[in-house]
Every structure is written in structure tokens, then in C-alpha cells.
């Protein structure tokens, strides 16, 4: 198992972060990491996610939304073509810190046999990409 986790404080309400996260149609406008997300933002929905890391690596995958806790938590889980080889669960947790400040946790848990072969390569590129997305989310939430 391999976990990559980032966090940022955002000056807004949990509702504002949530609405940005579930508005998949607008990801292309603000998100430098998840450049396209297509599908219905609801529990059990299969979505298409296209990512581009800060180092230019691109990947498209088709996870299923596994948690949809309004204004609090969004999760989706993707599997490789052979489940159990390399699977990932993306987790977004929104927690109110103060009256107008939110803690936004962004992480992914990778599992499967393939993790031991590529786990270390995921660290820097993905962590940096998560951080870049977090900053873009903060900018969008605080300025729009």
C-alpha cells in the first residue's frame, strides 16, 4: 500500500469547496491536474477522469464514486484492467476549521501487487500535482 496525502487551508465555506469539487464540467477551467472529469457526481456513478501531472504524464481512468457525503467527503476508486494489480482510491475531505476557513485534505491510497514496483515513483510527481490542484482550488474558492 502507498498513500500520497496533501492538505491546504482555504478561506471559504465547506459548501463552496463541495460545489467546486462536484461541478465536473468546470474542471477544465481551473484544475491543472485533473484536466477533465466526465460523469454524474453521485454515489455509484462511473466517471471518466483525465489527469496530467506536473511532469507531463497523462492518464485516463474510469473510477466509481464510492462516497458522496455532501459538503464533507468525496471518494472514487479506480482499478487496473486486472483488479488487485494496481488500484487507487482518491479521497477529498472537507472540514470546517473556523467560521470562514476550511481544511481540504486530498489523498490517494494505492493498493495491489504493482505498488511495490512503482510506489516510489509516485511520490514527487503526484504530491506536487496534488499540491498544484489544491492551490488552484483555493484560488477558485477564494476569488470566484
pLDDT tens column, 97-137: 988 899 999 999 999 988 888 767 777 789 999 999 999 99
Q: How far is CA 113 from CA 41, 82, 86, 96, in A?
A: 30, 11, 6, 36
User: Cα(first)–Cα(last) distance of the chain, in Å?
Assistant: 37
pLDDT of residue 138: 99
Closest to 23 in 3D by CA, of 10, 8, 34, 9: 34
Closest to 91 in 3D by CA, of 25, 34, 6, 13: 6
Task: State the chain's mean pLDDT as an integer.
Answer: 95
Least confidently predicted of 4-8, 44-48, 81-85, 111-115? 81-85
For 2-143, CATH number out of 3.30.9.10, 3.40.47.10, 3.30.530.20, 3.20.10.10 equals: 3.30.530.20
Model confidence pTM above 0.85:
yes
User: How far apart are alpha carbons 70 and 67 in whole angstroms?
Assistant: 9
Amino acid at each position: 500500500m502507498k498513500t500520497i496525502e496533501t492538505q491546504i487551508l482555504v478561506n471559504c465555506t465547506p459548501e463552496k469547496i463541495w460545489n467546486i469539487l462536484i461541478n465536473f464540467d468546470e474542471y477544465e477551467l481551473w484544475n491543472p491536474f485533473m484536466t477533465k472529469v466526465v460523469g454524474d457526481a453521485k454515489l455509484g456513478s462511473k466517471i471518466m477522469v483525465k489527469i496530467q501531472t506536473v511532469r507531463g504524464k497523462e492518464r485516463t481512468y474510469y473510477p466509481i464514486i464510492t462516497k458522496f457525503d455532501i459538503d464533507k467527503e468525496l471518494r472514487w476508486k479506480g482499478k487496473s484492467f486486472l483488479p488487485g494489480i494496481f488500484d487507487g482510491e482518491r479521497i477529498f475531505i472537507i472540514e470546517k476549521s473556523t467560521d470562514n476557513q476550511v481544511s481540504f485534505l486530498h489523498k490517494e491510497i494505492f493498493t495491489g501487487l504493482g505498488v511495490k514496483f512503482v510506489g516510489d515513483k509516485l511520490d514527487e510527481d503526484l504530491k506536487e500535482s496534488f499540491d498544484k490542484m489544491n492551490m488552484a482550488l483555493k484560488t477558485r474558492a477564494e476569488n470566484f
